[in-house]
Structures are given as C-alpha cells and as structure tokens.
Structure 1
Amino acid sequence: MSAAPNTSIDAYFDLVGQPAPGGPSLAGLARLQLGHIMAIPFENLNPLAGLTVPLDIPALLDKFTHRRGGYCFEHNLLYRHALDTLGYRTTPLLARVRVNAAPGVVTPRTHMLLLVEVEGERWLSDTGFGKATPTAPLRLVPGEAQSTPHGVYRLVPEGDAGDSFLLETDAGDGWAPLYAFESRPAYPVDFEMSNWYVSTHPASHFTRDLIAVRTVANGRHVLHNARYSFYAVDGTATRKELATPAALVHLLENTFGLAAGSVPGLGAKLSEIVSPRGEGFER
C-alpha cells in the first residue's frame, strides 16, 4: 500500500526551513525565499514525460516532499500559500519571458511571480525562474542594481503607466533581459491556462528539453538536455556532456536530489536527448 500524501503546510516548513519568529518582515521573507529555492529544485520532468502538472496545494505539497521539484507555477503557488499562511500580503503576477526573444517580439505570459508588501514597500519575490531565479527579494524600484546571494538584478520601467517593469540580470558583459511584467494581479484561471500551454504545447521548451536546476550556497547546478553545468557565484563555470540515459538519471538523482527513476515515461525521453541539441537558456 502506498503512503498517504503529505498535505500539511508543516511539511513544507520542515523542507525549506522554519519561518522566522514574529510577524511578517523583510528578513523573514528573504529567509523563506532562499530556503525554498535551495531546498526544492527547478525541473520539468512531468511535462517532458507527457504527465500532467497539477497546481492544487495538496498535490504540490506531496510532490515537493517526495524528492521532486517543478517550474514557476508549482514553485510560486506553494510559496505564496506559505506566505499567506504566515500573514504576508501577496499579489500573484504573470510575466512575459524575454530571454532569447528577438527585439519587438511579444511573448506570451508564461511565468508566474509574486509581489509582496512588507515593511511599507513592495518587493518582487520569485522562487521559480530556473538558473536566473533571484535568491532574495527585489525592491520594486526602477534602475537600482540589487545584489542577491546568486547575482545582481535591476528593474527597468517600461511604458508610461508606471506599473510595468523589465527584470534584468547582470550577465558580466552587460544587462540581460529576463521577463517583463505589470503589477496588476493575475488569477487562478490565468495560471491554469498558462500552465496548460507550457506543459502540453509542442512548441513549449518544457515539453521538448530536459531542464533541471539546483541552487546551492556556492552556485547552481544546471542540466539542459545532455549538458551539465555548474555556475559558481564567483562567475566561473564548468561543463560536461552526458552520454547515456543512465548517466542522466544518476545525475538527476544524486546531484539534483530528484526521484527521476520513478517518473513514468521519462526513460524513453532521456534516450532521445542523450546527444547535445544546441545551446539554450535553462529556465
């Protein structure tokens, strides 16, 4: 008989770290955001294997507490649930991903993030943007370079309304665009629609490419198809290619901490991608 699903929010805090004592605070928000990102990997094994991606809280709790991760909707919906439980004021948003997008191209709203109001200010807080996920809250002010444990970011205003921003990261040789968003709220039906698209559409890279990211104190482990990379916080990077499905499963299990061997249908997909298929951005 299989074990009963673990649907208690206490299990989430056991996984990511207990919340700071007292009421909502910026320090408590930063602690929970970093703890979440370092405890729960970013990955797309379900859509790659042709499996559904449920977004209800019990399903997310059960998945994350059984050595699995997910992508933005999964991460940020559960993260928001935890913040709301702790009394934070959160607003869920949708963003248009600008990574690798040609100038002038309008991309769909396929990324979820949060605005959190705490200590009299608004902060961008995101736990699900792959290898470029900010590991600390970002103050919602334009043009200010903001350091996090894993990189420097800034928000650039877009348009004339004053509520639209482009998030950029310092790529070493200049600022690189990540995603654009407006500060108006999105709703569960919006996330369901976007989640359905990114998890099922044949043009979605989540249905075609193997992507996994695990953040650790000194950098990020990144897997994109058969290429494994480690991006250190000092700016150095190491890379290697994996040649067999077994090597990919071993890496997913041991370096990323994922129960990859138990994902139905994943083995066949890994067999298709053991050869490198070009560069991409591991989101």
Structure 2
Amino acid sequence: MSRLPSAPELHCSRYRFREHPVSDSIAAYLNLTGAGVPGIAPSLDTLARLQRGHIQAIPFENLNPLAGLPVSLEIPALVKKVTERRGGYCFEHNTLYRHALATLGFQATPLLARVRMTAPPDVVTPRTHMLLLVEIDGERFISDTGFGKMTPTAPLRLVADTVQHTPHGRYRLASLGDEWRLEAEVDGDWLHLYVFDLRPAYPVDFEMSNWYVSTHPVSHFTRDLIAVRTVDEGRHVLHNTRYSFQPSELPAERRELVSGEQIAQVLEDTFGLAASDVPGLAAKLDGIARRPA
C-alpha cells in the first residue's frame, strides 16, 4: 500500500481556540483536505465535502499520548502537526475542523459527549469526546471528524429515529429527553457510540478533557495504540498489534503484527504517519508487541 503524500509546511501567527480565526492556516488546511478554497459558500454540500475531505486526509491516531508527549490544541500546532504527516484524536481533529468551518462562515457550536461504545449500560462515562453542531439555513446537523473507526463521513441531520446513509455506513440519532445518542449499524445491530446534549462547551472544558484523556493512566489513549485511516474503499484500523482493513461491503482483512518495528512500518506505509519522528514511540511499540496475547 502506498504512503500518503506529505503536505507543505505552514508557518502562521499564534492562535487560540477562543480568538478570531487566522486565514493563513486555512489555505494549508484546505490544500491538505482537498475540500476547496477560501471563499466557498457555507452550504450543506460544502460541509459534506469538508468533513469527508478532512477525515480522509488526516488519520486518527494517539501517538503523542502513547509516547508520553503533550497534546496541544493550539491552531498553529495542529496545522503544523497534520502537515507533517501526523493526525490526532477527537479534540485535535474537531478543534482544527471547527476553526476551518468558522473561517469559512459556518455557525459551528462545539459540544462534549460521553462515549458509550464499550461501556456497560449502568456505568456513567466522562465527557471525553468532542463533536460539532452546525446550523445551515435553519437546519441543525451533527458533524464529527474524530471518532476513530466509527466516525461518520457525512453530516447527520439532528432528527430522531431516522436512518442516515453515509459513504461509510448507516447511522441514526435517538432522542433521550434533553440528550441525544448517536448509533451506528454494525453487522445488522445498532451500536451505541456516544451520548451528548446541545449545551455549548468552552475552551476550558476541552483543555480539561484533553488533559485527562492524554495523561491519565486509565485512559486507553495512554496505554493502547489506535490508528485509523479512512479511504474511499473502507477503513484501515490498527489496535495495538491487530491490523485490519474493513471494506464497505466485504469481510474485513486482518493480520497480526509481531514486532514494534513491523508496527512502525505499517504506521508509516499504510497510515501515512511519520511514526519515526515521534520521540519515545519506538520503545512503546516494542512493549506493545511483547504483551501476552
């Protein structure tokens, strides 16, 4: 499998999530995602192209927290990271994505969600996922670029009990009083992904949640390797030593990786990630490869 092409470097002025967007960064971002040029109208078609372009250009990965490195949510750091063959997880993806949407004239409200995908029904999970509520011509959509292998690759209308088709699967939203639950169809069943309400979240909320998921010893992002690259034909997924490719309509292809060096090679060649540039990562990958099966 071919390596993703590297994108041009970008140097831009300092930016914080709460400040006015910096136009210089958007040129590099739109070039990377292939979603258009500044000045395009904030329409549903534009939103759909930008969301899918972002997801397919920027892999989901947790190399920084796994290697014990900080995760910055500053826009210059995020742009520099993704243009140097890196990706990130939800806070990085959706912070950068929101910045692009705001610059292009979209009304995008950041929200926090409780992940339910692997949680028992009676366990209350923390708000550790970021997503966006986007309003276009009076209609509201959920737009998310950072939920790993289950990320919707199209905006979803905020309507209950309606199956919505995307290029990579079917989704629906369930209304739970003041909350909503996102669900995805997997092998004929509906998997609960996350629960959220429509209260806007603020930079301090994301700083707190980002710090927790990137540093807490019980966070799976500090313990396990996770990487996802979405392409037209399906998704490449790496969880520790287990690599798989899930085509849209066919059974998944799977194989087990046996060494840290092999894991790093797959990260480089299949996921297009500059794994060799991450300090301390090689030792972590060696340790993952040596874990008992």
Instruction: Tell me the TM-score range normalised by the shorter chain.
Output: over 0.9
Cα deviation for residue 236 of structure 1 reads 1.6
Kindly indicate whether the alpha-carbon contact (under 8 Å) linking 2:10 and 2:28 is maintained by their aligned counterparts in 1: no
Aligned mates of 1:40, 1:181 — CA distance in 2: 24
**1:217 pairs with 2:222:** no
How far residue 147 of structure 1 moved from its aligned partner, in angstroms, is 0.4
CA gap of 1:41–1:147, structure 2 versus 1, over 3 A, is same
- Contact residue 225 and residue 276 of structure 1 kept, 8 A: no
Q: Among 57, 78, 92, which residue is 2:75 paired with? A: 57
Distance 1:209 1:36, change over 3 A: same
Is residue 260 of structure 1 aligned with residue 281 of structure 2?
no
Distance in 1 (CA, whole Å) between partners of 2:263 and 2:246 is: 18
Aligned to 1:10: 27
Report what 2:220 is aligned to: 205
Q: 2:130 aligns with which of 112, 124, 127?
A: 112
Cα-Cα RMSD: 1.5
Query: How far does residue 129 in structure 1 lie from its aligned partner after superposition?
Result: 0.2
3-state SS, counterpart of residue 289 of structure 2: coil
Structure 1, 126-135 or 10-19: larger mean CA deviation: 10-19
Deviations 1:171-226 (A, max 9, x none): 12310000000011000000000000000000000000000000000000000000
> Which of structure 1's runs of 4+ aligned residues deviate more than 6 A?
none
Specify which of 245, 250, 254 is matched with residue 239 of structure 1.
254
Q: CA deviation at 1:6?
A: 3.0
For residues 134-145 of structure 1, the aligned pairs below 5 Å read 134-145=152-163
Q: Distance in 2 between matches of 1:177 and 1:266?
A: 32
Shift of 1:276: 6.2
Q: What is the number of equivalent residue pairs in this alignment? A: 273
Match of 1:178 among 193, 214, 227: 193
C-alpha change, 1:276 and 1:235, in structure 2 (3 Å) is farther
Q: 1:24 is paired with a residue of what secondary structure?
A: coil
Kindly indicate whether residue 109 of structure 2 is the aligned counterpart of residue 91 of structure 1.
yes
CA contact 2:9–2:84 (8 Å) conserved in 1? no
> Does the C-alpha gap of structure 1 residues 157 and 208 become closer, same or farther in structure 2, counting only changes over 3 Å?
same
What percentage of residue pairs aligned between the two structures are identical?
65
Encode CA deviations 1:221-273: one digit per residue, 9 max, x unaligned.
Answer: 00000000001111420110000111111100000000000100001100111
Q: Is the 8 A contact 2:90 2:146 kept in 1?
A: yes
In structure 1, runs of 5+ residues without a counterpart are 279-283
| Cα deviation code 1:103-151 (max 9, x no counterpart) | 1211000000000001320000000000000000000000000000001
TM-score, normalization: structure 2?
0.90
Q: Tell me the residue number matched to 1:19.
A: 36
Could you tell me which runs of 5 or more consecutive residues in structure 2 were left unpaired when the two chains were aligned. Answer: 1-7, 13-24
The CA distance in 2 between the partners of 1:42 and 1:267, in whole Å, is: 19
Q: Aligned ranges for residues 150-189 of structure 1 at < 5 Å?
A: 150-159=168-177, 161=178, 164-189=179-204
